[in-house]
């Protein structure tokens, strides 16, 4: 795993978090809602903070008064970037057991599995 010079943070998780924030379809989210999305990648508060700080530095989000505003309008293309796999999975967001997992293919890696409603929630389609 690649590490970043900032306190030995796992660079792969940071890049995946940035890629996810870049593809959100929300006009705005509360900080808690943004953290809910990032927790599909990591529950480490240091990594979460690094993802949010780096997203702001790179111009991926605006952050003010506990509100996150994604700046990109490059959303997840469901036909191309969401794949399903059959198997025995647990949803990364809610923990439910799944026989069909939905995965998001991002440049930084694959994120999932998610259930059919959680995939929409994570990407901002619901």
Question: Which domains, ranges and CATH numbers included, belong to the chain?
Answer: 11-70 (1.10.10), 78-123 (no CATH)
pLDDT score for 75: 85
pLDDT beyond 50 at 1: no
pLDDT beyond 80 at 41: yes
pLDDT beyond 50 at 105: yes
Q: Tell which wins on pLDDT, 46 or 79.
A: 46
Q: Specify the range with the lowest mean pLDDT, choosing from 5-9, 69-73, 86-90, 101-105.
A: 5-9
Exposure string for 18-47, b = 16+ CB within 10 A, e = fewer:
bbbbbbbeeeebeeebbbebbebbbeeeeb
Mean pLDDT over each residue of the chain, to the nearest integer: 89
Nearest to 83 by CA among 112, 40, 121: 112
């Amino acid at each position: 795993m690649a590490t970043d010079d900032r306190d030995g943070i796992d660079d792969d998780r940071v890049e995946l978090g940035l890629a996810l924030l870049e593809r959100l379809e929300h006009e705005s989210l509360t900080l808690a809602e943004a953290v809910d999305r990032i927790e599909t990648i990591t529950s480490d508060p240091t990594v979460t903070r690094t993802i949010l700080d780096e997203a702001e530095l790179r111009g991926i989000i605006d952050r003010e008064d506990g509100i996150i505003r994604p700046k990109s309008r490059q959303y997840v293309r469901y036909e191309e970037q969401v794949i399903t796999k059959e198997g025995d999975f647990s949803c990364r967001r809610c923990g439910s057991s799944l026989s069909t997992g939905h995965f998001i293919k991002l440049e930084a890696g694959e994120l999932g599995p998610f259930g059919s409603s959680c995939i929409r929630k994570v990407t901002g389609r619901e």
